[in-house]
Structures are given as C-alpha cells and as structure tokens.
Amino acid sequence: MSTKSRSFEIESFQFVGKKVGFYGSLLILVLVSMFPVIWIFLTSIKQPGSIVQFPVQYLPQNPTLENYRVALGNAPFFRYLINSAIVAGGTAILDVFLGAIAGYALSRLRFRFKLHVLLLILGTAMLPFISRLIPLFSLARSWGLLNNYLGLIIPYAAFQLPFAVWIFQAYFKELPDSLEEAGLMDGLSRIGVLFRIILPVSAPAMATTAIIVFIYAWNEFLFALTFMSQDSMRTITVGIALYGGQFETPWGTISAAVFTSIIPLMLFMLFFQRKVVEGLTAGTGKA
Amino acid sequence: MADVVEQSSDPPIEPSGGGSTGLRARFRRYRELDLTEEELATVLLFPVVMFLLTVSFYPIVDTVWGSLHTGYVLEHETKQFVGLQNYEQILNSGRFWNALTVSLIYTFVSVPIELVIGIGMALLLNRAFKGKYFIQAAILFPWALPTVINARIWAWMFHGEYGVINDMLVKIGILESPYPFLAVPDAALASMLFVTIWKTSSFMALIMLAGLSGIPSHLYEAARMDGASKWRQFRDITLPLLKPTILVALIFRTLPAFQAFGLPYGLTGGGPAEATTTLVLYDHKLTFNSLAFGRGSAAATIITLIALLIALIYVGTLYEPEVS
C-alpha cells in the first residue's frame, strides 16, 4: 500500500514536472520570439537621453510619445503603409486568380504536356530573383512602370505564382469527382463548373494563398528598393530601411516608426495565424 | 460586365415552365462555351504560362544575353558584345569570391541549425494544449516580420555601446564590457547568422509540424507496446517519415538563404570590410552603384547556376519516389 502510494506520488510529481517543463519551454520560446518587438516598443517610449546609456535602462522612466510624434510627423509614413497595402493587395488578388485557374487545370483536367507545364511553373520557383532584376528593371523603365504600383505587382505575382498554383492544385486534388459530375449533369459547361462550383468551394485555398502572398509582397525588399526611387512611392520596408540619418542613427524615432509598422502585422498574425499554418502546410504534408 | 454577372447568377437548369425566351437564349450561349478538357486547359493555362514566360523566363534569358555584353544599366543602347569577358572579370575579382564564401557560410551554417531547432520546436508544439493558437502566432511572428525591418531592430539590439545584447552579456558575466559585434568582421557574420536563425527557425518548425501531423499515431502506439524508448521512436519512426518534409524544407530555405539581401543590407550594409556582403548584395552594388550592366548580369547568371546546382544536388540525394 505504501509503496503504491509512493509510486503514485512519484508519478504525479513527474507529471507536474513535465507540465512545468512543457509550459516553461513554451514561455521561453514566446519570450525569445517576441523580445525584439518588446524591446523596440520599450525603446520607442523612452526619453531620448535614456536611450543611449549603458548599462541599459530596461523599463522606461517618464515614458514619452515624443518619438512617435517625430517619426510619424516627418516621414510620409502613412503613405508608405498605403503603398505597401496596395502593392501587397494587388499581388494577392492577381495570384489568387491565376493560381486558381492554373491549379484547377493542372489538378483536374487531362491534357497533353501537363507534366511540362507543371515543371515550367514550379521550375521558376528555383530561379534566383536577382537573375530577373536587371531585365525587369529595364522593362519597367521602358514601359514607364518604375515608381508605379504595377511595376512591383507584376514581378511579385510572377514570383509567387508557383506557390499559388501549388496550393490550389493540392487543394483541388482533394475534392471529390462527384462535385463536378453533379454540375455537368445539371447542364453546366466545364467553365460553368469551374466558376460556379469549384471556385466557390475553394475559399480556404484562396484565403491561404492571399495571406501568404500578401505577407511576401509586404516584406519584399530587393525589388521594392530598386523599382521605387521616388519617396512617395516607397513601400514601408524600404521607407524604414532608408529612414534615419547617414551618420547618426536616431534610434528613438526609428523604433517608433518600426513599432508602428509592426502593429498591423501583429494583428494580422493574431487573426490569420491558423490560415497561415494551413497554407504553409498544405503542400508539404502530402508530397 | 454587368451582363456576365447577371448571366452567371441564372439557375443552372433551364426552368421548365414560363422561362422567357431571353433567358433561354442566354442559356444557350452559355452552353456554347462548352469546351473539351484539352481546350479548357489551354484557355486556363495560357495567361499563366504567358505571364511566367514574360516575367520569369524572358528576364533570365536576357540576363544571360546581357552578361555577354558591356554597357550601363541606364544606357541599354550602348551595349557591346564582349563574349565571356565579364565572367573573366567576375571570376578574377576577390570581392566576388569573398561574397561567394559569405553566402555559402551563411546558407550552410544557418539552414541546418534552423532545421534542428525547427524539429525541436515542432516536437514541442505537436500536441493539443490551451492557448495553442495564440502561442503559435507569437512563435511564428519572427517569420512574418519583414527581413529588413528585422535587420534594423537587431542592429539596435547589437549596438556596440548601448545595445541590449551587450548589456545582458555583461550582466550574465560573459562579457566584461560592451563588444562592437557589428564592427568586427567575424562577429558581424556570426551576428547575422544568429539573427537569421532566430527569424527562420519558426518557419522550419511550422513545416515540420505539418510533416509530424502526417505520421500515423498507431506507429507510436505499436512502438510503445514494444517498449521502444522515446529516442528510438524518434530515430526509427519520426525521422525516416519526416524525410520528405525535410527535403521540402531544405529546398524552401536553402535557396532563399543563398539569396540573402535584406538582412545584410539592414544589419551591417555588408560591412565591416565586406564580411557580411552576400552574393546578391554584391551583385546589387555592382549593378546599381557601379551601374555595370554586363558584370552585374554575369554575376547574376553565376548565382543562378549555383542555385540550380544546389537544388539539383538536394533533389538528387534526398528525393525518393514514394512507395505509397
């Protein structure tokens, strides 16, 4: 009896220990992941003098919004945010449309050269972006697309298209054939089946594609830096990268600018995290 | 446009009674669009293929073509054919080899570490617990953070005089006084590796999580019945079944890592002494600061060839046609 209760005690002790270990590791992970953002926030509300001191002041004394006033007042900050939203939104819409129709054809139709087309589309995913930068820069220049939203939307959409096609074809493969058969029996054409039956049920694939392509376009830097030389056309990543003086970096105002730009992203991740996870995992689990 | 919308909102079956002739006519037109599978595939894939040919393939060809010429980015018409001269210059340039070394170290140190940390994180997260989605959102956050903004944040945290990293290392007792991480070549490269591992491990974890969810749980039950230890279960079940996922993750991560640009640009600007100048940063400077169109294109072509080689090696060594 006593040995039994002792072993029970040990087991429950181990159980509690495991739980503490598990939640402890999670807590550490979350802290490590979020620390830079927390740090940027703390820096952004410090008095200018207390930002540059060592040992570092961890919690701000006399927190201030002065850095935000300077950061948001000086730079065309909201302009950058709007530019990013337009570019990322446009890219997402284009890729959802192109990805859906191509994904449908590749997953549910029989035709010659299917493998070749699939390889052509997915093969472009392997090509480095830098190898397309110079010619696309020349093209954009001769078509007047530098400092133009389309100048970024078109290359971004092309670069993310293989991913979009992959998501959609993986999703369409899982749909039952009976769905299309029912539509055809009801007298729909194949295009009718696509637009009135298949696309409406593919909302989950559309959402994941849109979100991930949106994040890509929001974050892209190489092309955004090269194609948008005009200050009013810059995206938020370029705006922030080029923010600040050449010699003395105003860390307080930069922190305020950075933290403001991160707020939409944090909300986005909080609300759409499940979709992001589903989207990223759609192609990998069932390779 | 309005007509199309109206058309598509018609009921799919022709109403048997009282159907107006207008409706019937429209419906017939709709039927006439009926295509064979082959035709429909052509119609659907044409825009996509044309788009990719114009925006992805033509530029590659043009880059290769441009690499055989000399001239400046902004004066396309002054191009002159010079054969392989640009390649010769690139391959004789110490800066190119330095950038190649930096990129290879960056890629092949960071990606394996990210993979191991990612698998560890995935094993930790691969269960149901309270607040899972909130925690996942927090852990995934580094991945969603724009690289160049991330770079600026870490540049501040690594600051040689006032950086919080210095402060923490001094407080723990590892450092006696602040160390200028980003001003010392080796330390700058190590810092850059640290930042990218921090950022991308969460993405690895996510892909691994997907792979783990595809492993049937009865395999573990059977192993447990046979008295297999956790480590044996991991080695003999998890790892082999995770192999396809690992391949996907390696390709997903290696090629972007090889093209790193935003991180060195924002963290160190490629310095000190080009210790963090990656290949793409080198090529970007060559093309847009020196405006050397031909050499920039030659460097881009070399980067493309190396990237394709890496992809081929991965697929060749890791890909196994699936049994199922």
pLDDT tens-digit map of A133-165: 989 998 898 899 999 999 999 999 999 999 899
Going by pLDDT thresholds of 50, 70 and 90, the confidence category of residue B22 is low
pLDDT of residue A286: 44
Q: Enumerate the CATH 1.10.3720.10 domain ranges in chain B, comma separated.
A: 86-318
The whole-number pLDDT of residue B71 equals 75
Q: What is the pLDDT of residues A232-252, one digit of tens each?
A: 999 999 998 888 655 567 889
| CA–CA distance, A242 with A76 (Å, rounded to integer) | 12
| Contact B62/A at CB under 8 A | yes
Quick: pLDDT tens for B185-244.
999 999 999 999 999 998 899 889 888 888 888 999 899 899 888 899 999 999 999 988
Query: Which residues are within 8 A (CB) of B270 and not within 5 positions of it... i.e. 6 or more apart?
Result: B264, B276, B277, B278, B281, B282, B285
- Residue B75's pLDDT is 63
pLDDT attached to residue B21: 59
Chain B residues within 8 A of A258 when measuring between CB atoms: 149, 152-153
Q: Which of B73, B129, B134 is closest, CB to CB, to A134?
A: B73
Q: Is the backbone of residue B271 left (phi > 0), alpha (psi -120 to 50) or beta?
A: beta
Q: What is the mean pLDDT of residues B96-101?
A: 97
Give the span between the Cα atoms of B83 and A18, in whole angstroms: 66
Residue A247 has a pLDDT of 58
Closest CA to A46 of A56, A33, A61, A32: A61
Q: Quick one: pLDDT at residue A14?
A: 77
- Average pLDDT, integer, range B168-187: 93
Cβ atoms < 10 Å from Cβ of B221: 10
Stretch among A59-63, B76-80, B287-291 having the lowest mean pLDDT: B76-80
- Residues B91-107: what's their mean pLDDT? 96
- Considering chain B, what percentage of its residues have pLDDT values greater than 70? 85
Please report, for chain A, the start and end positions of each structural domain, with discontinuous segments joined by +: 3-44, 75-280
Higher pLDDT, B119 or B74: B119
Collect all residues with Cβ–Cβ distance below 8 Å to B51 and sequence separation of at least 6. Answer: A98, A157, A158, A161
Q: What angle do CA A134, B87, A225 make, to 5 degrees?
A: 25
Give dist(CA A135, CA A244) in Å, integer: 31
Task: State the pLDDT at residue B321.
Answer: 59
Of B41, B55, B293, the CB nearest to A155: B55
pLDDT, position A56 = 87
Residue with more model confidence, B215 or B261: B261
Q: What single string gives the DSSP state of each residue in B142-194? A: HHHS-HHHHHHHHHHHT-TTT-HHHHHHHHHTS-SS---GGGSHHHHHHHHHH
What does the pLDDT read at residue B11? 46
Which residue of B28, B33, B37, B48 to mutate against A (max A Cβ within 10 Å)?
B48
Residue/partner pairs of B189-193 with CB below 8 Å, 24 or more apart: B189/B102, B189/B105, B189/B106, B189/B275, B189/B276, B191/B154, B191/B158, B191/B267, B192/B106, B192/B263, B192/B264, B192/B267, B192/B268, B192/B276, B193/B105, B193/B106, B193/B109, B193/B110
In chain B, whose CA is at the least distance from the CA of A287? B244
Question: Is B324 a residue whose pLDDT tops 50?
Answer: no
**Which fold is adopted by the domain A75-280?**
MetI-like fold (1.10.3720)
Contact A237/B148 with Cβ under 8 angstroms? yes
pTM of the model: 0.86
- At B14, the pLDDT band (50, 70, 90 cuts) reads very low
CA-to-CA dists, residue B197 to B9, B137, B146, angstroms: 51, 18, 15
pLDDT band at B289 (very low <50, low <70, confident <90, very high): confident
What is the number of CB-based contacts under 8 A between chain A and chain B?
A: 300
Greater model confidence, A2 or B54 = B54
**Mean per-residue pLDDT, B308-320:** 80
Q: Is the pLDDT of residue B26 over 80?
A: no
Question: What are A193's two structure tokens?
Answer: 């089946």
Sign of CA dihedral A69, A75, A79, A81: negative
Q: What is the reported pLDDT for B10?
A: 44
Residue B8 has pLDDT above 70, yes or no: no
Under the banding of pLDDT at 50, 70 and 90, the label for residue B5 is: very low
* B109 lies within 8 A of chain A by CB: no
For residue B304, list chain A residues with Cβ-Cβ distance below 8 A: 127-128, 130-131
Tens-level pLDDT at each residue, chain A (287 residues) = 555 566 667 777 777 888 888 899 999 999 999 999 999 999 999 988 888 888 888 888 889 999 999 888 877 888 999 999 999 999 999 999 999 999 999 998 889 889 899 888 888 888 899 999 989 998 898 899 999 999 999 999 999 999 899 889 888 988 888 888 888 888 888 888 888 889 999 988 898 899 889 999 999 999 999 999 999 999 999 998 888 655 567 889 899 999 998 988 888 888 887 777 776 665 544 43
Residue B1 has pLDDT above 50, yes or no: no
Percentage helix, strand, coil for chain A under 3-state DSSP, each rounded to 5: 80, 0, 20
User: 């990293």: which residue's tokens?
Assistant: B165
Looking at domain B86-318, which CATH architecture does it have?
Orthogonal Bundle (1.10)
Q: Is B145 in Cβ contact with A265 (below 8 Å)?
A: yes
Q: Average pLDDT of chain B? A: 85
Query: Which residue in chain A has the smallest CA separation from B10?
Result: A196
Closest in B52, B135, B297 to A134, CB measured: B297
